[in-house]
A and B are shown apart, each in its own frame.
Chain A
């Protein structure tokens, strides 16, 4: 089961890699990046490039974060 959140979040990075994020006042520490990739999306609709991170937090939560080329971070999905 996955829930689409698509909410703006604060992310702490080490280099270019996310290591923790805050959502609804709670801090989530990333224990592992499972996979990441980059997508151009619908460039013809002026959609920005995004880097997708599928991550596991130290509480074993599975999340998908999107990092837009504009600098904005989104919590895109939660996998229950």
Chain B
């Protein structure tokens, strides 16, 4: 007899489903099942993946969910058709509105309202009817069953029999069967499946421990007694239900009543409200040509042809509304003065450029539109826009207001088990001490959870650790089994969806941690529902640019100088290129990593093409593809670019004959093999993803056949394809590189010409960029820009630029010496309300003393303590310990939380402002440690300065000394370790790059595989290192190739012996 599983949990039951969707579907297919249901707890997040996998396996997907009702009971729900699915989405949305994000509950009234085209099963032992039977209250169970029957209809409510070998199972099934007969209801057999095979039970049991915050040795009612909830075969199920054949038959009957609910051909993007009488296509055309007139002045036939080509494709794909929506969003940002920049493959479009969404002239750069959008691919367009991070939410609010809150939501994202998170969660459940698990997890690089075993042998920081790795065999095995499973749902930082239908009929909506409503589908799955995602990204760099421009113009206004325009930055500024060539680019967008700095020091960039290529070159793909060295050699004409076919020269000339960009592959295929642009893009995708050799061989044969038919010699065609093949998976989107390149160059310009303003802006917008704030401060000091400690009467909420007086006089305005003042917001424990209080009171009158400050601001004692210890009161009284002493005297007068202030101004409460005797101040070292722990940076000095006597005594060179040392010899250097990382390499061998930072600057260190294997266990775990190795000169920069590495003994060095 056929049996269909109708109550099945996938990993989207979040720690209550222990087998992947493909595994469940494959097993059902192996059993010859014609259908399968997925019924996760209070969500349908698996729906798209399940639909695709099941359909591909020839199985009918039945979409459902196991709802939690208002009294906490479970109820399984299956959608008969799209209407039923829409009702299920409504019920789930209501559940999260009613019960909150961590406790969703469907009220019975909602069930009564939204039950159409849904079939309900009474559920597991958590269901109301079986639960009441097990409690012995048969009357209540009968009433509950009648209630469900009346709400859902007799034909749509089934009593669920589960034979799961728990105590009282047979009695429960007997009573349920009798109750069904009494009420005229049907019974249905399920196995309340939580995993595919019996052997998956340990994973499920451990998931339950993680979910219930227990350990394996603990007892918890939610832990299952046995391993019977697996996807049993029809034969097993039929045998278990020999006494209830009708329950088996009902599974097929229900499956027959249910149809697939998703329609991938649905188009749900809303119509943009165009001006009266115009169609979306006409309006888009009008805007495009208006923009083109502004961008180009004269619209040449070539420009017109390109725009018509793009508009033709946009219209045929019926995505005009999407372009108009994005145009409208960009207009809003412009009107509000919100800095933005389009990025990604959208910069391949001249229409998008004319709509002023991107700043890359696709026509001038010869960019291929088909990389972005093509008829053959017919993929939904994806225009990504970066906004000033501070105002991205304002842009999102505009979208919500314009299209209605019912039609807009944020896209969700799923946090999945990776090595570190899995080790922490599973380690805790297995009862390992937290400190031990922390030590273990921190040693693992960021690899997937199923790469743990491989990592054990590969990485010395694990292999050579003192941790007893043999103890963790079971832990590693569970982690690997859970690899990629979702842990929890969160908010995608950028993605929004807009729907013409109310979204709750398409996807359930639930509140995320920040109060934002999110869909239950992630960015990939959401498009299969017929929705298009808008990517509105936050980019702190744009906030830093805006702050820099404001700061420069404040100074310019004071000096009566002309105001500065970021958009007017010349693209051929020699000083900016010299800065890039020096490799000293910390702070520059996309050009500041050690690899980028090393590239810049050798490349000799002197035009925008070099910058754009730089952005594309330092990526995992090109690095792994070993493109960097040939590119540099050809850039310096050390190697002559050769073109095997004359048609390649115009395509590859700008990258000196190297295939660097994805667009170049498309163009080669179009020119050499006569591929249509869409076919070429298919080739690009096959190459980029490289999922199958068979697929690659097939497209290779097609390329060679078409190229030879096009008149290209066979051997030449083969060689050209081998070039493309060599590129497989490595190339980068030129349009994206060009979009980023613009910001990269312009921020480099700011770095060169306005370093104080730019560093201050970077520090105000942390976290951003590659380096911690302390490194930015060091870099500023290195460029002779002092960092001034916070001052209670000067500092504001942001880092600010100050003109320094010299010998009591100011510099001349045209050449002021500038410094950066640390913000008050940087002080630990400072909150916005306290900050505002300080600034408001100060605007009335500067603070005269600590007591004056305390009386006027009534701040929490911890904040005042931190302000004292980081030096914010030094301007009023330089002895910090004395101030702390005084603060202690004020302590009882300071307000505690939820208490009114005692500083009421009553004369008897006022204290003497200074002590009768002087307390000795903290030592410089103590002050240093206080500042670092409170500010996360040191304004005036660097930790390594305190180690210098120790280091000099041992002939360990500073970064400053290394700059003056001739390369080629062996040196010893020491510093704080900054960002050690292992980029992928073509050979697969590990190369570690790190930076050592000291009080004078930085020195980059390269560590090859053999040295890494010896010292990896300290490289990634010690905060400061001593490195011995060969000093190398590469271009304009020096670096050390390490031969030996040791930990800097901090405690000894701190004593400075």
| Partner-B contacts on A (CB < 8 A) | 35-40, 42-44, 49, 51
Chain B hits for A35, CB < 8 A: 167-168
Question: Is B201's CB under 8 angstroms from A51's CB?
Answer: no
Question: Is B165's CB under 8 angstroms from A40's CB?
Answer: no
A43 to B216, CA, bound (A): 10
Question: Is B167's CB under 8 angstroms from A37's CB?
Answer: yes
Chain B hits for A40, CB < 8 A: 201, 205, 224-227
Chain A hits for B167, CB < 8 A: 35, 37
* B124: min CB distance to chain A, Å: 15
A37 to B228, CA, bound (A): 11
Chain A hits for B165, CB < 8 A: 36-38, 51
* A45: min CB distance to chain B, Å: 9
Question: Is A44's CB under 8 angstroms from B430's CB?
Answer: yes
Residue of A with least CB distance to B169: A37
Question: Is B166's CB under 8 angstroms from A49's CB?
Answer: no
A37 to B224, CA, bound (A): 12
Question: Is A38's CB under 8 angstroms from B202's CB?
Answer: no
Chain B contacts with A in 199-236, Cβ cutoff 8 A: 201-202, 205, 216, 224-228
Chain A hits for B228, CB < 8 A: 38
User: How many inter-chain contacts with C-beta < 8 Å in the A-B complex?
Assistant: 33
* A79: min CB distance to chain B, Å: 16
Chain B hits for A39, CB < 8 A: 225-226
14 additional contacts (CB under 8 A) given A37-B167, A40-B226, A40-B227: A35-B168, A36-B165, A38-B165, A38-B166, A38-B228, A39-B226, A40-B205, A40-B225, A43-B202, A43-B205, A44-B202, A44-B474, A49-B226, A51-B165
Residue of A with least CB distance to B201: A40
Question: Is B201's CB under 8 angstroms from A37's CB?
Answer: no
Chain B hits for A43, CB < 8 A: 201-202, 205
Nearest 8 pairs of A and B residues by beta carbon: A38-B165, A38-B226, A37-B167, A40-B226, A40-B227, A43-B202, A39-B225, A44-B216
Question: Is B166's CB under 8 angstroms from A37's CB?
Answer: yes
* B242: min CB distance to chain A, Å: 11
A51 to B164, CA, bound (A): 12
A51 to B167, CA, bound (A): 11
| Partner-A contacts on B (CB < 8 A) | 165-169, 201-202, 205, 216, 224-228, 430, 474
Given the known inter-chain contacts A44-B216, A44-B430, A51-B165, please indicate yes or no for A37 contacting B202, CB distance below 8 A: no
* A44: min CB distance to chain B, Å: 5
A40 to B202, CA, bound (A): 9
A78 to B761, CA, bound (A): 79
A38 to B474, CA, bound (A): 24
Question: Is A38's CB under 8 angstroms from B205's CB?
Answer: no
Residue of B with least CB distance to A43: B202
Question: Is B216's CB under 8 angstroms from A38's CB?
Answer: no
Given the known inter-chain contacts A44-B216, A44-B430, A44-B474, please indicate yes or no for A38 contacting B225, CB distance below 8 A: yes
A51 to B201, CA, bound (A): 16
Question: Is A49's CB under 8 angstroms from B227's CB?
Answer: yes
Chain B hits for A38, CB < 8 A: 165-166, 225-226, 228
A20 to B776, CA, bound (A): 82
Jot down 20 A-B pairs with beta carbons below 8 A, ordered by A: A35-B168, A37-B165, A37-B167, A37-B169, A37-B225, A37-B226, A38-B165, A39-B226, A40-B201, A40-B205, A40-B225, A40-B227, A42-B216, A43-B201, A43-B202, A43-B205, A44-B202, A44-B216, A44-B430, A44-B474
Residue of A with least CB distance to B225: A39
Chain A hits for B216, CB < 8 A: 42, 44
* A74: min CB distance to chain B, Å: 17
Chain A hits for B202, CB < 8 A: 43-44
Residue of B with least CB distance to A50: B226
A43 to B217, CA, bound (A): 11
Chain A hits for B227, CB < 8 A: 40, 49
Residue of B with least CB distance to A52: B167
* A69: min CB distance to chain B, Å: 10
A1 to B618, CA, bound (A): 76
Chain B hits for A36, CB < 8 A: 165
Chain B hits for A44, CB < 8 A: 202, 216, 430, 474
Chain A hits for B225, CB < 8 A: 37-40
* B474: min CB distance to chain A, Å: 6
A38 to B227, CA, bound (A): 8
A44 to B474, CA, bound (A): 8
A27 to B225, CA, bound (A): 31
Chain A hits for B205, CB < 8 A: 40, 43
A40 to B195, CA, bound (A): 15
A71 to B226, CA, bound (A): 17
A39 to B205, CA, bound (A): 13
Chain A hits for B474, CB < 8 A: 44
A70 to B1002, CA, bound (A): 65
Chain A hits for B224, CB < 8 A: 40
Chain A hits for B169, CB < 8 A: 37
Residue of B with least CB distance to A44: B216
* A50: min CB distance to chain B, Å: 9
A40 to B165, CA, bound (A): 11
A13 to B997, CA, bound (A): 76
A40 to B228, CA, bound (A): 9
A54 to B169, CA, bound (A): 14
Residue of A with least CB distance to B198: A49
Residue of A with least CB distance to B206: A44
Chain B hits for A49, CB < 8 A: 226-227
- In this complex, the member of B201, B224, B226, B227 whose beta carbon has the largest number of chain A beta carbons within 10 angstroms is B226
A47 to B167, CA, bound (A): 20
* B217: min CB distance to chain A, Å: 8
A46 to B722, CA, bound (A): 54
A38 to B430, CA, bound (A): 23
A38 to B201, CA, bound (A): 13
A9 to B201, CA, bound (A): 29
* A67: min CB distance to chain B, Å: 12
Residue of A with least CB distance to B166: A37
A42 to B216, CA, bound (A): 8
Chain B hits for A37, CB < 8 A: 165-167, 169, 225-226
